[in-house]
Each structure stands twice: as structure tokens, then as C-alpha cells.
Structure 1
Amino acid sequence: MKISANLLKVATAVLAITFAGPTMAGAAKIAIIGGRTDDPFFAIVKRGIDDAAKIVESRGGTVNYLALQTYDNIGSDAAALIRTAVSQGSTGIAAPNWVPDAEDPAFKAATDAGIPIMVYNSGGTDKAKELGAINYVGTEDYVAGLAAGEYLGTNKVKNVICVNTVPGAANLEARCKGISDGVTKAGFKSTQLPLPASSFGDATAVSEAIKATLAKDTTIDGVVTMGNQDASSAALAIAQANAQDRVKLGTFNTDQASLDRIKQGTQMFAVDQQGYLQGFLAVFLLESYATYGMKSPTMPILTGPAVVDAKNVDATLAGVAAGVR
């Protein structure tokens, strides 16, 4: 709570200095598309969105969070939510660009309607520029994957599987590609383990798939999952396969369970993309642009990646306790 309160205080102070009185032509209606409400990572993103919404609401505006219900058809469903935001008369729309082929036409429909857009969490700088977005807030997923792969390679992890529970999602495919390139650079190898999108959130399905893969190939000595929820499933699979001595576990995103495993030595690392900042900054910057014409001079605004391991895990724990990491 302390971290989010401080960010809110700083942002409010900046606005108070910059704008002495109400100058906006009309109250902003910000729509932000995001992941499922039971997705642990997007729960952190939503915390940032909610804190930024307090600033928007203090200026007479509104923030509407439009959540995916499933990840089975992530691209088409996200596109439908973007179009819903357009039809609702939003004055600014922020959304991840998970599946560009499906979502790009919806983003274009927004810009054609004169609505400024922000790409966040997934898509990257080049795609944001192509779509005419005011900025990109998040990590470059390939760069994040590469950082994980190089970390694994440096630590002599030689045969890595990248567990992807939403195959086809551009951000997750880019992470797995980065892991593969980073590991290959060190002279080792990595392959992707794609699971049906319906397995997302199904801890048993993910655990059983990883356990079966480890039993089939006993040379595998590294498992990387795309989110902290799947990391818990992977940890269980590794334990049930009696492979703790040979298999190193890594994941993207952080939570209490992952950090506890890092401290205990049963998880090697986590790559933090700081989802709280993604949600907060996407809303705050988009509304500031829509209301006051403020635009950041830098693009992109990167929130990661940061590798958390045994050396720096203690510094991350306060953020997890506050619900922002």
C-alpha cells in the first residue's frame, strides 16, 4: 500500500503544479482492456489502474476496465472489447496488443474515430508506432525473454523448456523466442512446451503436462513458465518427478509464493515486468493526453525486465506485501 500511495501522491503533486485550475475541455472517459480478473498478474495491473483512476476521477473523468472472460480466443476477444470501448464513446483506449493480426483493425477503428490509444503490456514500441499510439508502456517481451535465457545460460542450465499456456499470444511467443536465443548463445538449447489455452488457470493440467514432459526427457534441467500461477504448478511437477536436484525453475512475474521459493532455493529466478506500473502509467498518461494534451517525450516507457533471484529477493518482498509486485 505504501508504494502505490507514494506514486499517487507524486502524480497528484505534479498535476497540481502543472495545472493551477480546471483546463480540460471535457471529462475524460478512459477504457482499458486487460486480462481475466482471476489472473494473478492482471490483479496487480488492476491495482495500478485503480490507483490511477483516483486521479482521473478527481478531475471529473472515469476509468472503465474491460476484462477478458477467457483466454481461449484472446486476440478476437480483445479486439471485440476495443470495439466496445469505441462504441461507448471513450475518449482514450489502452489495450495490450496480444495478437496483432486480430487486434490491429480494432485499434485502427479507434484511431479512425479520433480516439487516442495507448498500447501497454504487450505489443512493443514498433507496433505502437505503427498503430499511431501515443506511447507503449511495458516491457519488450523478446528482450525480457532474452534476459531470462542469458541468465540460464550463464548459470549452465543446458536444456530448457518454455511453458506457454496461451500459444499464439505474441508476447508469450516472443518471450519463448528470447529464452531460446539467450540459451543458444551460451551453447545450450531451449524448446517450447505449448499447452491448450484452456489449461490457463488449471493448475492440475499444467502440472501434469510438465511432469509428463520431465519424465519423457530426463535431460531437461530448466523450466520457465509465463506467469507466477504456472510457476507453482511447475514447482509441484518438479517435486513429484523427484527432479529438484537437476531442474531449475524460473518464471515471469512475481508473487509471494515465487519469492518464498527463491528464498528457499526451490526456484532459481523470476523476471519482474512490474505490472502495477503498466496499469498505473497506461491510465495516467493516456488520460493526461486526452484531457490536457500532455505527451511523454520518451517512447517507450519500459517497466522491466528485472531478474529477481537469491541475491535481491529481499528487496522485492515489500512490494509483494503491498500488492504492487
Structure 2
Amino acid sequence: MVSLLAMAATALTGCASGKASDDTAGQATATAGSGTTSGAKSTGKNSVYVIGGKPDDPFWSAIKRGGEDAAKLVKAGGGKVTFLGPQNYDNLGPDAAKLTLTAISQNPSAILVPDWVPENQDAAIKQAIAKGIQVFIYNSGGADAAERVGAMKYIGSDDYEAGKAGGIKFAEVGAKNILCVNTVPGSANQEARCKGVKDGATAKGSSSKQLPLPSSNFGNPSAVTQAIKGALLKDTSIDAVVTIGVGDADSAAAAIKQAGADSKVELGTFDLSQSQLDRIKAGSQLFAIDQQPYLQGFYAVSIANQYLSYGVLPPQNPLLTGPLLVTKDNVGAAIAGTRAGVR
């Protein structure tokens, strides 16, 4: 088991076409049983809506896997869990708000939603709460977001502290000029990650800057590779690159190689995949920061269901699922979980 970062002891996007109907573009539904959507108050059968990311995003597939496992308990009570997902990440805040309105229109017992872009999403989240729907913020936003909108709790990682840990780790191995590649600029959790990297590096005498790329580049390996390669060739003082997700990390690895910088540029990323773990094991990647997305999905669904059914609620807020730093020293313990689809 990888060790919990001491500093964390004390998180993408989303929406479909915005149509408030059951045929929302990009929507994926996992039914955990029969029952109405009128809420626990009138039927005792819980209807939980989970707003998440693209179905082909490996990070979100791990969250959904956790949510689906927890949904088995909802099914046992005669309820259901519905997952709403986007087609792309091009219009982050407004689309996420539309997905929330879609969920509200189904009169669920609870809505689980990341607060990616507060200025676009908070009004819709508050509308759900005003209708008596229980709302849990997960993955992005933190306890501050939950308090600001009046949600029950935040479940997820602390993105700023995760980034800070990465910045410190880079500095500890001698990196002086770190590039944080952000393919979802404006997203609260991604901005917090890059800010954390910068602050962690600065605290140890190093520096960091951000490379913001158009969100349309997310999921476009060729575009991301070329952008990172160009940055490395333009500024040869860059000696470390960190990416906000696993797909971008694969692109960064290719960019470092194409730029002929393998021997001098360290690589790190947020989140896990088999390719990240393979590179860490081989010594060609320094670290991956795991926020344990499976736990985010599992805890969010199960805690909402327990609260709706029995009125029980863990007192911790935030309820942290990470960060956990995976390095060559502990990578072996993380590989089996990734192969099982839960990390």
C-alpha cells in the first residue's frame, strides 16, 4: 500500500449537450434497480445522480467503477444510481451546470457533483439544494466549495496539497525549472494543482510556470506532444514536466524523447495508469500522484445512500481520498490495483 503524504493527512470536466432530458448527449446510465425518482422522502427508494467525466477518460472510468460497486447497496434498497457524462471538455463550467439542471429535472434524492468552475456551477448546485435535494461535492472544489454552496460534504483529494507535494519532490531531486502542463485551464482543480506545484517548488528554492493549452487539446495526444516539445525546445532550462492527467503524461513522455531531453527532464503526473507505473518502475518517470478515484466514486455514492437511508454521515469534512505519491520505491504495490481498474 502506498504511503499517505504527511502533508495531506491533517482532482475533470463536464457536460453533454445541456438538454434537460433523458437523451442528453454523452449520457451514460447505470441502473441499480427499480424504483421511482421522486426521492427518499416519499418512497424510501433512493435515486442518486452522479455527474462525472467522459466515458472514454480512464480516470473517470475508475470513479465510475467505484460508484457502480457502491450502487449495489442502493439496488438492494430498491433504488438506482444514474451517471451523467459529457461528450467533450470544451465548455467546462456552463456544461457542468446544465448537467446539474438535467439531474434536478429528474427529482432525485441526491446529486453528486464536482465543483469544477464555481462561477458557472454554483447557481445550479444551489438550485438543487433549494429543492430539497441532498448534494455532495466530490473530486473538485474541496470543503470550501461544499460550505459555500451548502452541500453536505466534500469527498476527494486536496488538489493544492497534491501539487505542492509534486513540486517539493521535483525540487528534492534537483529540478530547478518545472513546467506544469494544463490542458483544462480555468478548471478549479487543475489550477490548484499547478499552483501547488509552483508553491512547493518555490519553498525548496526551485521555480515553476504553467503551460496552458486549449481544452480541445485534452485527449489529443499529438497536439499535446507537439505543444510540450515546442516548449522544451524553446526553453532549454526546463528540467521537469508535470501533467494534470495520465493521457497528457504519455504525450509528455513522447515530447521529452522527441526533444532529445530524456537525460535531463524529469516527468511527473497526477493520477495513475499502467503506462505511468511502467515508466516509474523503469526509472523514466519520477512520480505519479494518486487521488484514488475509485474511492471517490465509492465513498460518494455509499455515503449519500447511507445518509438518505439511515441519517448517518461521517463527521470529517473534507473526507480525503488522497493525495498518495507513487514513486519507484512503492510502485509495485500500485500495479495490481491499476490492472484491476480501481486505480
Common topology (TM > 0.5): yes
- Within the candidate set 264, 268, 274, 1:250 is matched to 268
Write out per-residue CA displacement over residues 18-58 of structure 1, whole angstroms, 9 at most, x where no aligned residue: xxxxx995101000100111111101111111111111111
Alignment partners' CA distance in 1, 2:219 and 2:309? 38
- Within the candidate set 115, 122, 128, 1:110 is matched to 128
* Letter of the 2:113 counterpart: A
Matched, 1:207 2:225: yes
Alignment partners' CA distance in 1, 2:281 and 2:73? 37
Give the corresponding residue for 1:305: 323
The number of equivalent residue pairs is 303
Alignment partners' CA distance in 2, 1:290 and 1:204? 46
Matched, 1:217 2:235: yes
- Within the candidate set 114, 139, 144, 1:121 is matched to 139
TM-score by length of 1: 0.92
Matches within 5 A, 1:47-58: 47-58=65-76
Give the corresponding residue for 1:5: none
Q: Secondary structure at the match of 2:341?
A: coil
Matches within 5 A, 1:235-274: 235-274=253-292
Q: Secondary structure at the match of 2:132?
A: coil
Alignment partners' CA distance in 2, 1:155 and 1:195? 27
Write out per-residue CA displacement over residues 110-162 of structure 1, whole angstroms, 9 at most, x where no aligned residue: 00000010000000011111211111110111111111111111111110000
Alignment partners' CA distance in 2, 1:240 and 1:260? 19
Which sits farther off after the overlay, 305-314 or 151-160?
151-160
CA contact (8 A) 1:24 1:291 kept: no
Give the corresponding residue for 1:17: none
Matches within 5 A, 1:84-103: 84-103=102-121
Give the corresponding residue for 2:185: 167
Alignment partners' CA distance in 1, 2:307 and 2:135? 10
Alignment partners' CA distance in 2, 1:24 and 1:146? 46
Matches within 5 A, 1:26-41: 26-41=44-59
Q: Secondary structure at the match of 2:186?
A: coil
1:104 Cα offset (Å) = 0.3
Unaligned runs of 5+ residues in structure 1 are 1-22
Matched, 1:185 2:185: no
Alignment partners' CA distance in 1, 2:94 and 2:305? 26
1:291 Cα offset (Å) = 2.2
Q: Secondary structure at the match of 1:50?
A: helix
Write out per-residue CA displacement over residues 271-294 of structure 1, whole angstroms, 9 at most, x where no aligned residue: 000000001111110121122222
Unaligned runs of 5+ residues in structure 2 are 1-40
TM-score by length of 2: 0.87
Alignment partners' CA distance in 2, 1:294 and 1:166? 36
- Within the candidate set 289, 298, 309, 1:291 is matched to 309
Matched, 1:82 2:100: yes
Structure 1 or 2: larger helix share? 1
Matched, 1:277 2:275: no
CA contact (8 A) 1:134 1:295 kept: no
Q: Secondary structure at the match of 1:206?
A: helix
Write out per-residue CA displacement over residues 83-119 of structure 1, whole angstroms, 9 at most, x where no aligned residue: 1111111110000000000000011000000001000
Which sits farther off after the overlay, 149-158 or 97-106?
149-158
Give the corresponding residue for 1:153: 171
Matched, 1:318 2:336: yes
* Letter of the 1:303 counterpart: T
